[in-house]
Amino acid sequence: MDKAAGADKVESGRIREAGKAERDRRNEPGRLLDEREEEGPSIEPADLDPSFRPPAAPPQRLLDALRERLRYMHYSLRTEEAYVYWVRGFVR
């Protein structure tokens, strides 16, 4: 039995060593650098000019924004109609 247990330890040691070699191969500094170079540099416009602002989306109209939010929140269509009705009345 001791020999069998010892054989298991040797075999698991070999597996551990193979796994370690694979991890070492994946973590080589040169290998990571090569992979990054293939992707290309990731330079953002904000990195070049600190005052850069991405183009803003056109402003939404109030009732359109309200409808979009109510649909996002999964309110019923009838509730959406009621909210739009009351907001329209309040604005007027």
Domain chopping of the chain, boundaries: 1-56, 59-92
Helix/strand/coil percent split, the chain, to 5: 70, 0, 30
- Quick one: pLDDT at residue 14? 61
- Quick one: pLDDT at residue 83? 97
- Quick one: pLDDT at residue 22? 63
Q: Tell me the torsion sign for CA atoms 26, 28, 32, 38.
A: negative
C-alpha distances (whole Å) from 78 to each of 73, 74, 89, 92 are 14, 12, 17, 21
- Quick one: pLDDT at residue 59? 80
Q: How far apart are alpha carbons 64 and 57 in whole angstroms?
A: 14
Give the largest Cα separation in the chain, rounded: 91
Both tokens assigned to 8: 């298991």
- Quick one: pLDDT at residue 52? 74
All residues at 6 or more sequence positions from 68 whose CB lies less than 8 Å from its CB, including other chains:
60
- Quick one: pLDDT at residue 5? 55
- Quick one: pLDDT at residue 40? 61
Q: Which residue has the higher pLDDT, 75 or 40?
A: 75
Q: What is the pLDDT of residues 41-89, one digit of tens each?
A: 666 665 677 777 777 778 889 999 999 999 999 999 999 999 999 999 9
